[in-house]
């Protein structure tokens, strides 16, 4: 996970876009994000003088706390998103290549060598009795969803 630099700013709110706003601080505009829950906890309006602390991101400042000039500081919590199964965050999960081999065998194919792992599937070199070598694409739950003739160069076959 990338490390984001902490930043503290004092300035005047210029424009408000739902839970994001521009802050003019030291003669420079900054885009800041309160998040939807932060916007519920702290009312932001053009012309409001504020001080904030946050994390500098490539496109904006993720506000961690904010206060009206001389007012009480409000802490803003940004929850991590919860992504369902199949999301790219799960790509580092260990997936068992034996699932792919079992699926290929159950479908009547004879696999050769080890499955090649890719972000969303395994590729397996296999053939049926007296058939040509084929490259099978097998998803992580054992579904064969693509078959194509195996490349002799890629698979080192004659």
Cβ neighbours of residue 96 under 8 Å, at least 6 residues apart? none
What band does 95 get if pLDDT is binned at 50, 70 and 90?
confident
- Both tokens assigned to 12: 């005047």
Give the per-residue pLDDT at 78.
74
Q: Is the pLDDT of residue 11 over 90?
A: yes
Per the confidence metrics, is the pTM higher than 0.75?
A: no
| CATH architecture assignment, domain 93-150 | Roll (3.10)
Domain boundaries 6-75, corresponding CATH code? 2.40.50.200
Cβ-based neighbour number of residue 154 at 10 Å: 11
Taking the CA of residue 86 as centre, how many other CA atoms within 13 Å lie in the half-sphere pointing to its CB?
3
Taking the CA of residue 116 as centre, how many other CA atoms within 13 Å lie in the half-sphere pointing to its CB?
10
Give the per-residue pLDDT at 3.
62
Mean pLDDT for the stretch of residues 113-132: 91
**Domain residue spans of the chain:** 6-75, 93-150
What band does 83 get if pLDDT is binned at 50, 70 and 90?
low
Residue 72 three-state SS: coil
């Amino acid at each position: 996970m990338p490390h984001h630099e902490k930043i503290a700013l004092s300035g005047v709110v210029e424009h408000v876009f739902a839970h994001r706003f521009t802050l003019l601080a030291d003669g420079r505009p900054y885009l800041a994000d309160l998040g939807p829950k932060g916007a519920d906890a702290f009312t932001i309006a053009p012309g409001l003088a504020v001080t904030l602390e946050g994390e500098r991101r490539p496109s904006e400042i993720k506000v961690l706390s904010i206060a009206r000039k001389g007012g009480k500081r409000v802490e803003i919590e940004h929850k991590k998103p919860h992504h369902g199964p199949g999301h790219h965050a799960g790509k580092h999960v260990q997936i068992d290549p034996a699932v792919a081999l079992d699926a290929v065998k159950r479908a009547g194919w004879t696999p050769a060598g080890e499955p090649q792992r890719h972000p969303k599937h395994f590729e397996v070199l296999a053939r049926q009795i007296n058939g040509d070598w084929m490259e099978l694409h097998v998803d992580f739950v054992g579904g064969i969803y693509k078959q194509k003739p195996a490349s002799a160069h890629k698979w080192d076959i004659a």
